[in-house]
Amino acid sequence: MSAATGRRRGWGFVAPALIWTLAFFIVPFLVMGAMSFATLEGRSLIWGLHLDNYVEVVTRAYLWRAILVSLEITLTVTVVSVILAYPLAAIIAFRVPPQWQRLVLLLAILPFWTSYVVRSYAWLLVLAREGLVNQTLMNIGLIAEPITLANTRFATVTGFVHFFVMLLTLTIYANLVQLSPNYRRAAMDLGANAFQTFRHVILPLTLPGIATGAFLTFVLCIGDYVTPQVLGGNNELTMPQVIMVQLGRRADFPLASALAIVMMAIVTLAYLASARWLRLDRV
């Protein structure tokens, strides 16, 4: 087999996937980019290099506020999720007997596989005015009146944290168990206590994994529509919610596209800011 025929065959194998990605991802993406520079006059679309949509994003309060809200929620969720997931992953990796670890981990992330529309709805059950939390607190006499939990940022963050704690537990656990147990033994052997071992050895060694997981959380969280829509209500809107508003009521595709591009730009910035910590090839 000559190099040339081999190469032609190689192309034959790769081509279908490439064409699919090109036709249904890259082209639509470019069209969306072009669309963000188009503008609507009445109901007719005018292509061109208009910056109207981007101007609108920075000048219209409900649009730029959505960016802020999204960023605030996403950062809160990322930080809280990492802080809650790390101990859970560490307990599974270091305290649970090895033969049980896989099972405990599997159980810890099983609800991860609930459809996420259903998962958000399930949190609504828990947090609603008549829901589980309020009823329980009232029954034990801690509160007299139901407190507002659903349709708040708290509810959105709770729903997100629930999801990402499971995701991060998985990635951090994977990181912890691939460390040689001798690192911990060596640190303790040399006189480090449990905290020092964590601070000087385990944490630095798992930092790339944490950064990767946190970045994944950031990307998935900032782009999600369902959780804020179901749990956050309409008191404050996130970027995906604002995009969906443009698509629904007003069919303003150019503005929706511009918002989508802005959202991507934010993710790209986040990536560049954290790139040196990330090991995306080791997810």
- 23-62 residues near other proteins, rule: CB under 8 A: 24-29, 31-32, 35
* Residue 63 CB partners (closer than 8 Å, separation 6+): 56, 57, 242, 259
Residue 132 binding other proteins, by CB under 8 A: yes
* Residue 33 CB partners (closer than 8 Å, separation 6+): 257, 261
Residue 79 binding other proteins, by CB under 8 A: no
Task: Count interface residues toward other proteins (CB under 8 A).
Answer: 95
Smaller CB distance to other proteins: residue 13 or 61? 13
Interactions with other proteins, residue window 252-271 (CB under 8 A): 253, 256-257, 260, 263-264, 267
The residue range among 58-66, 69-77, 80-88, 170-178 that interacts with other proteins, by the rule CB under 8 A, is: 80-88
Nearest residue to 106 via CA among 121, 96, 118, 119: 96
The residue range among 56-64, 66-74, 75-83, 251-259 that interacts with other proteins, by the rule CB under 8 A, is: 251-259
Amino acid at 205: L
Within 10 angstroms of residue 75's Cβ, the number of other Cβ atoms is 14
CA–CA dist 270, 264 (Å, integer): 10
Q: Are 87 and 202 in contact (CB under 8 A)?
A: no
Residue 148 binding other proteins, by CB under 8 A: no
Residue 219 binding other proteins, by CB under 8 A: yes
Q: What is the nearest approach in angstroms of other proteins to the Cβ of residue 185? A: 6
Residue 170 binding other proteins, by CB under 8 A: no
